[in-house]
Homo-oligomer: A and B are copies of this chain.
Amino acid sequence: MDETNRQVILTARPSGIAQAEHFAVRQAAIAQPGPGEILVRNHYLSVEPAMRGWIADSDNYAAPVAIGSVMRALAAGQVVSSGDDAYQIGDDVTGWFGWQDYACVSTDQVVQRTSAAEMRASLGILGINGVTAYLALTSIGQPRAGETVLVSTAAGSVGSAVGQIARILGCHTIGIAGGPDKVRRCVETFGYDSAIDYRGEDVGAAVARIAPHGIDIYFDNVAGRISDAVLPHLAMRGRVVVCGTASIDCWMPWPQGPRVERHLLVKRARMEGFVIFDHMDRYADAVAQLRAWIAEGRLTWREEILDGIEACPDALAGLYRGENDGKRLIRLV
């Protein structure tokens, strides 16, 4: 065991996306677990778009990360000391362990048990990304075979899973992504029937051309101008899964956009927000379903591994620069 615990601390609150300068790496003592706690040696740290919201000092689904504290993050690692009989030294676990080498946490911070083989996947396709894709699509989108499903950030960790799951469920799938590489990946890697490059195409015109009968389910990870171009093309009784707002840099001042009420009324359509934390009772079942599809070769994913905790401070900003190529993970061990 290393002598000290390196931790990535949030040092200032950004007004937009957190950049490298909003974080610092510090050394701390390794705490020892008390009753009901475990000490986890993190092997992989997760980097995800939602972190921007966890950092922002505005209304959100969780309290913002406090200045001076360890950056909130999912991580996967191994139990190295335990104060809880349910966890043994050597157990592989995934949970809210933060951007640090060692996490001394209450066992209620464990999200799932994992294994050495699935440790990385447990932070992506077999973790919060895949489970979000599956549960949000099925619970709010309620796809039926033959329907048309449109996905924004279609090549991303959540979006790529949504597209593949919708296809497994018999839907026609259309992806929206930025740049020719991601668009090609949508079709070649993730099996979308077609894909739209929002940087190079008029999204509304492309949707109208590809889906002349309208979009039954719009799985939206971005909000903003892409969504504005999509909403006029909803099909009758269309559903909009509001899963993220990645294209909106800042909610202060509150951004304006075309009003949605008329679309919802004329199309008898529905828009609904989804946050995975409300659905933890279905998490394990969702993971089991995703694992089965992977075993059948019907569900794939991409990972991008950065090495060393020093990569953390710039890793989130890099996501928003669009430079990642798959689920971004930081490897510590």
Contact = CB atoms under 8 A, between A and B. Distances in A.
Contacts of A260: 260, 271
Contact of A264 (B255, B262, B263, B272): B272
B261 A227 contact: yes
Interface in A253-291: 254-275, 278
Contacts of A257: 256-259
Contacts of A243: 265
Contacts of A254: 258-259
A95 interface: no
Nearest to A265: B273
A262 B274 contact: no
A245 B261 CA distance: 7
A229 to B, nearest CB: 12
B275 A262 contact: no
21 contacts: A61-B266, A61-B268, A242-B261, A245-B265, A251-B262, A254-B259, A255-B259, A256-B257, A257-B257, A257-B258, A260-B260, A260-B271, A264-B271, A265-B273, A265-B274, A267-B273, A268-B273, A268-B274, A268-B278, A269-B273, A270-B271
Interface string A236-253: 000000111100100100
Interface string A160-179: 00000000000000000000
Interface string A23-64: 000000000000000000000000000000000000111000
Interface residues of A, number: 36
A305 interface: no
A169 B82 CA distance: 52
Contacts of A272: 264, 268-271
Nearest to A222: B261
Interface in A189-248: 220, 223-224, 227, 242-245, 248
Contacts of A270: 270-273
